[in-house]
Amino acid sequence: MCSIKGIFYDGLCSFSDSITEDGITLVFCGELYNKPENDSLIKLYLHYGFDFLQRLRGIYAFVLWDSQKRILICARDPLGVKSFLYSITPQGFVFASELKSLLASGLVSREVDRQSLRCLLERGSVSQPASILKDVHWLLPGHILILREGSTPEIRCFAPLQTNKVDTTGMNWEDIAAEGKSRIITALERRIIANDLPGAFLSGGIDSSLLVALMIERYGNVRTFSVGFESGLNTASEDETNDACEVALHLGVEHNTVIVRQAEIADNLRAVASGLDHPTVDGVNSWFAAKAVSGELNAVISGTGGDELFAGYPWFVAMQQWASPSKWQRFKHCLKRETFLSVFNKQYRIFSSVDAIALCHDTRVPNVRPDPLSKAESLNRVTGLLLQGYARDQLLADIDAAAMYHGLVFRFPLLDEDLLDFALSLPPEAKIGSVDNEALSGSYAATGVKRLLMAIGEPLLPEGFSHRAKRGFTLPFDGWLRGVLADQMNDLLSESIVKKRGFFEPTVVNVIKRRFIEGKTHWTQPWLLMMTELWAQEVLDV
């Protein structure tokens, strides 16, 4: 799996890592899981025309140059696992999977889009199709860009999100669970290519634990990895390594625990900013997870996607409750002029609009989030908002950048398109079930979340699995910023550096830094400002 990059200008193509066949030149980044053994992607295009995209299953960003029709075709996989960036310049059409490659061409302006900065402050990432650079755009997931000589690019969607594509009429709970397990197994088998068994991340949560358990059933022993952090920090964060070890012991897998130490984060911080390629509040987790296994494996199975498809985030419960109000609650919603989107926007936010405008003058509120399933019931609607919001703009972009930096392939069975169609066809009670009021707070049993995955996984996992506290992989950023990273934070957010960069208002940055030190604001605020400056130094200024 290579990094995609190239230049198209004046009817000529200059590609890196390209192949040519039957007058078609292809540059491809990704993996296809359902391609017939003797059919190349070029042959599929020649046979089916543009309809060949409907027949692909996999993760990809690619460009086809049809020299006979004089047409350039760009496409990105429906869930946006792979990255595709482009710029239309006076010299021609420039594309790549990384900002660094675009900038290295010397054809792309380095001007930062201040409106994108504003979006970054509020949402923790820039909402695609915009990028942090004014003249660079993302090709949206499930979209095709067609460029003909002398014409402006034509962009259209070939894989829209849809509900109820799978007929679940008449299916009882046992049928739903059996069909769900069958589809997950199929998705997993698609990603075991040519009997080359990849390793797996094992966090101890239901997503990765279920996938590892099914891999054991189908393929025997699996190498698993979990990533934790050095103990002893003054932080509320907890890692998942003990939970992962318990699951690994129960399943009998060869398990490896990798501990990220304080000195490593300090030593690698600039490499993290460079590797992630774009400013983001997240991504460090993915970077260190990829680093941990890159010397051991070429490919790794990840449970990413389970939260988005099967209602794992707390946002699902919150929005479901908001959408089913009592009469009094409905009256309060009206008084507050609340809408589904306005409430959802408050579920995940780094800076408020007031703070964001103070930091970044002369900018407007970010564009309304894409709401592709606006007519669906609340859980499916949230899935749509996440897949075309947080997952697309931040989670998957960070994972892809971290994987490419370390030469690693991530595979996501729970982001399979056919499994997505099934998830978007399920009734709400298949995703969030009844709660056990006696269960440990935060456990699956206490929240009822991921009911379907729990029903499939519990028979395979340690007894009492549903009653354990649910934890995410969160590194102790708060403790690091107060300790090993304190000097870097103070330097990167010094008044002189902030003023020279010109992104943010120096006096407001000083207030945020002081409030963090006093324990009055969350670590995400100084962290995002610090990583934005570090990105500028490591990517923009290079």
Q: Mean pLDDT by 10-residue block, N- to C-terminus, for the chain (542 residues)?
A: 49 56 90 74 90 92 92 96 94 91 93 98 97 98 92 93 95 97 96 86 94 94 89 57 92 92 91 97 93 91 97 94 90 89 92 96 93 97 97 97 94 97 97 92 91 96 88 79 94 98 98 96 97 98 94
Sign of CA dihedral 98, 101, 106, 107: negative
The two tokens of residue 115 are 């409106």
Numbered ranges of CATH 3.60.20.10 in the chain: 5-157
- Rounded Cα distance, 320 and 339, in Å: 13
Q: What are phi and psi of 439, to 5 degrees?
A: -75, 160
Residue entry with tokens 């299953």: 57
Output the pLDDT for position 5.
Answer: 56
Q: What is the dihedral of CA 248, 395, 511, 504, to 10 degrees?
A: 150
Output the pLDDT for position 7.
Answer: 53
Output the pLDDT for position 22.
Answer: 87
- Rounded Cα distance, 130 and 135, in Å: 9
Distances (CA, A) of 177 to 173, 183, 418, 426, 455: 6, 10, 15, 11, 7
Numbered ranges of CATH 3.40.50.620 in the chain: 173-311+394-467
Query: Given 3.20.20.210, 3.40.50.2300, 3.60.20.10, 2.30.30.90, which CATH number is that of 5-157?
Result: 3.60.20.10
Q: Helix H segments across 108-172?
A: 114-123
CATH number corresponding to 173-311+394-467: 3.40.50.620
Quick check: helix, strand or coil at residue 208?
helix
- Rounded Cα distance, 330 and 338, in Å: 10
* Residues 14/94, Cβ–Cβ less than 8 Å: no
